[in-house]
Amino acid sequence: MRLLLIIVFFFTTAQAVSQNDLLAKNYFEQGEFVKALTIYEKLLEKNPGRLDYFLAVVECNQQLENFQAAEHLLLEKLNSPRAIPQLYVELGHNYSLQNKDSLATESYDKAIRYIDENPAYAYNIGRSFENYSLLNEAVEVYERAMTLDSTKEFNAHLARIYGEQGKLEKMFTKYLELMQSNAAYRSVAQRNFSMFVNDDPANEANEILRKTLLRELQKNPDVLYNELLSWLFIQQKEFKKAFAQQKAIFKRTEDDLTGIIDLALIAIAEQDYEIARDIVNFAIENAPSPEARLQSHQYMMKIELATAVKEDYPKIEKQFLTLLETYGMGESTYRLQIDYNHFLAFLAGKPDTAIQNLKELSGTRLSVYQEARVKMELADILVFSEKFNEALIYYSQVQSKIKNDVLAQEARFKVAETSYFKGDFEWAQVQLDVLRKSASQLIANDAMQLSLMIRDNSLEDSTQTALKKYAKADLLALQKKEPEAITVLDDILNNHKGEKIEDEALLKQGELFEITGQFEKAEANYLKLIEFYKDDILADDAHFRLAKLYEEKLQQPQKAKEFYEQIIFNYADSIYFVEARKKFRSLRGDAVN
């Protein structure tokens, strides 16, 4: 019983201290320093060994300009038997606040001299200097400690400080030393490099890093430097130069195409298909196994499709068939078969053939996940062919087969979307409301957007006439029937003026005008949306699309800059804010990190 009482007493006391600590911090943050000081003094009285409470009392006095009281506290603590040399930094800072620079320097020197007595003090003293942005003093502390005691390791601190001081070459060199001694530092180093390096090869930091890496590579031909040069060239979107580095790495590592493949995927994502083709050809020629060669061929087909025009489709179909003849129609080529049938349905105009092929594939020996992937593609093609009920069956099968996978959530969204295409808005809404809590942020956002559109456009029109037309236009756009979709949207804009659907129709039609190369018409749509719906949820979309249109298609950078700027100042919570700010600075001529 007595032990229990002791435990309860200590628990209650600890809880009270914690609550007072939080209260004091809150007062301090609110600028109520007198109240904060009162609580911290009581906490320190009860916990005299707590240095954080002592420093809080000192800082409260400094905020209240009670510099003499702060000095008295610090000197009293420094004269105690326990050596706490970082308090000389605090004392120096207290003098600095009073513009007593000579006394401040004297105190800082005393702190630094303690390193000669015991290098173990370096961490606390160095951190204290850093807290007050006294970076030169912090560097001196860390460097002196490492000279006096070879077991001390402050290179990470030094590298970070060199960066803050703008001593880029010293920072890069120090991080390279760290990576040589411990590969775990690489992610930290690259994260810090990214704060200085940007996509401009002429940027000072880019040039310094490139020269530093080349210098180190000449001294020591370690693949680390090739890898970092490749990383730098990727940041600069110079994929050809990155490829040269990756080939050098491949020659030394043998059979490891990881870097080559990763670079190919980046080049494809950036739509630099010319160099991507060269990279993938290299991967095909040097593939260590049939499986690796097949994967590279799949990437090549993605490039072929991305760069093809309609006249190329017969040739592409033959390429697919040649690969399938070479590698077979079994489990190992299921992804290639999905790509082939996607091509047949969505580009080559042969959806029925694709449906039949995928039904046969889904009946072969596949893993549960592979079968789910096949059925997702099959259902997508069935929607494309307006066979909605059959598509819903396959989407439901995907959900039941892999219940806890993101693919199952995607299938649920496709169920909602298919119901929307059918005009069954009530059932679509039920599915979307569940998905708004999805673990996948992308799916949750898509679900929220579609849900809001259905709800908003059902309130004032119980017949949902305009919404049904809009769903039809959406489906036509999915089917690559852009002119027909544009015509349906014209119907909405002419016959449903002033209804909630009008802004959606303007934005959607603007996107379709862009796809069909009617850029002036797209411009007119976005301008109209901005004029009449500037406070609407789609206003930032219209601004961003219009800015990109001016920048990339209409070659009017000044107008592009104007609309990017409007996003920055008027739509700070927009998902386009970060990209708009980067684009604006680039168009203005800033160095954009």
Q: What is the mean pLDDT of residues 414-427?
A: 92
pLDDT at 178 over 60: yes
Neighbouring residues of 175: CB distance < 8 A, sequence distance ≥ 6: 159, 185, 188, 189, 192, 193
HSE-CB of 223 using CA atoms within 13 angstroms? 12
pLDDT at 7 over 50: no
Question: Residue 165 gets which letter from DSSP?
Answer: H
pLDDT at 536 over 50: yes
Whole-number pLDDT of residue 212: 94
Which pLDDT band, with edges at 50, 70 and 90, does 447 fall under? Answer: confident
Number of H helices, E strands in the chain: 32, 0
Whole-number pLDDT of residue 448: 86
What's the rounded Cα separation, in Å, for the pair 310 and 155?
58
Which residue bears the tokens 């259905």? 454
Closest by Cα among 587, 539, 522 to 561 = 587
pLDDT at 380 over 50: yes
Neighbours of 68 (CB within 10 A): 11
What's the rounded Cα separation, in Å, for the pair 314 and 322?
12
Neighbouring residues of 539: CB distance < 8 A, sequence distance ≥ 6: 529, 530, 533, 571
The answer to whether the beta carbons of residues 510 and 549 sit under 8 Å apart is no
Q: What is the DSSP string of 364-396?
A: SS--HHHHHHHHHHHHHHHHHTT-HHHHHHHHH
Q: What is the mean pLDDT of residues 493-520?
A: 93
Structure tokens at 88: 């000389």
Whole-number pLDDT of residue 182: 85
Whole-number pLDDT of residue 11: 41
pLDDT at 282 over 70: yes
Whole-number pLDDT of residue 6: 43
Of 55-64, 267-276, 399-408, 565-574, give the lowest mean pLDDT range: 399-408
What's the rounded Cα separation, in Å, for the pair 516 and 509?
10
As a whole number, the mean pLDDT across the chain is 90
Neighbouring residues of 93: CB distance < 8 A, sequence distance ≥ 6: 104, 132
Closest by Cα among 133, 81, 140 to 111 = 140
The answer to whether the beta carbons of residues 92 and 111 sit under 8 Å apart is yes
pLDDT at 21 over 90: no
Alpha helices in 423-518 (DSSP H): 425-435, 441-459, 465-478, 482-495, 501-515
Q: What is the mean pLDDT of residues 495-509?
A: 91
% of the chain at pLDDT higher than 70: 95
Neighbours of 254 (CB within 10 A): 8
pLDDT at 331 over 90: no
One-letter amino acid of 531: E
Q: What is the mean pLDDT of residues 516-523?
A: 95
One-letter amino acid of 539: A
pTM across the whole model: 0.79
Q: What is the mean pLDDT of residues 584-593?
A: 72
What's the rounded Cα separation, in Å, for the pair 448 and 454?
10
Which pLDDT band, with edges at 50, 70 and 90, does 442 fall under? Answer: confident
Whole-number pLDDT of residue 438: 64
pLDDT at 14 over 60: no
The 3-state DSSP class for residue 554 equals coil
The answer to whether the beta carbons of residues 50 and 43 sit under 8 Å apart is yes
Of 41-50, 499-508, 531-540, 583-592, give the lowest mean pLDDT range: 583-592
The 3-state DSSP class for residue 500 equals coil
**pLDDT, tens only, 552-568:** 999 999 999 999 999 99
pLDDT at 213 over 70: yes
Which pLDDT band, with edges at 50, 70 and 90, does 590 fall under? Answer: low
Whole-number pLDDT of residue 582: 87
Whole-number pLDDT of residue 439: 61
Closest by Cα among 160, 98, 100 to 130 = 160
pLDDT at 233 over 60: yes
Which pLDDT band, with edges at 50, 70 and 90, does 18 fall under? Answer: low
Q: What is the mean pLDDT of residues 145-157?
A: 91
What's the rounded Cα separation, in Å, for the pair 131 and 120?
19
Neighbours of 300 (CB within 10 A): 19
The answer to whether the beta carbons of residues 442 and 408 sit under 8 Å apart is no
Structure tokens at 571: 């739509």
Structure tokens at 395: 């989407």
**pLDDT, tens only, 449-477:** 888 888 888 876 677 889 999 999 999 99
Crossing angle for the helix pair 368-384 and 406-422, nearest 10 degrees?
20
pLDDT at 580 over 50: yes
Whole-number pLDDT of residue 352: 96
What's the rounded Cα separation, in Å, for the pair 376 and 390?
12
Which pLDDT band, with edges at 50, 70 and 90, does 374 fall under? Answer: very high
pLDDT at 159 over 70: yes
Whole-number pLDDT of residue 591: 53
Whole-number pLDDT of residue 244: 95
Whole-number pLDDT of residue 498: 84
C-alpha dist (Å) from residue 542 to 263, 401, 529, 568, 588: 33, 40, 7, 14, 21
**pLDDT, tens only, 337-364:** 999 999 999 999 999 999 999 999 998 8
Which pLDDT band, with edges at 50, 70 and 90, does 534 fall under? Answer: confident
Of 179-183, 251-255, 302-306, 483-487, give the lowest mean pLDDT range: 251-255
pLDDT at 207 over 50: yes
Neighbouring residues of 366: CB distance < 8 A, sequence distance ≥ 6: 331, 334, 374
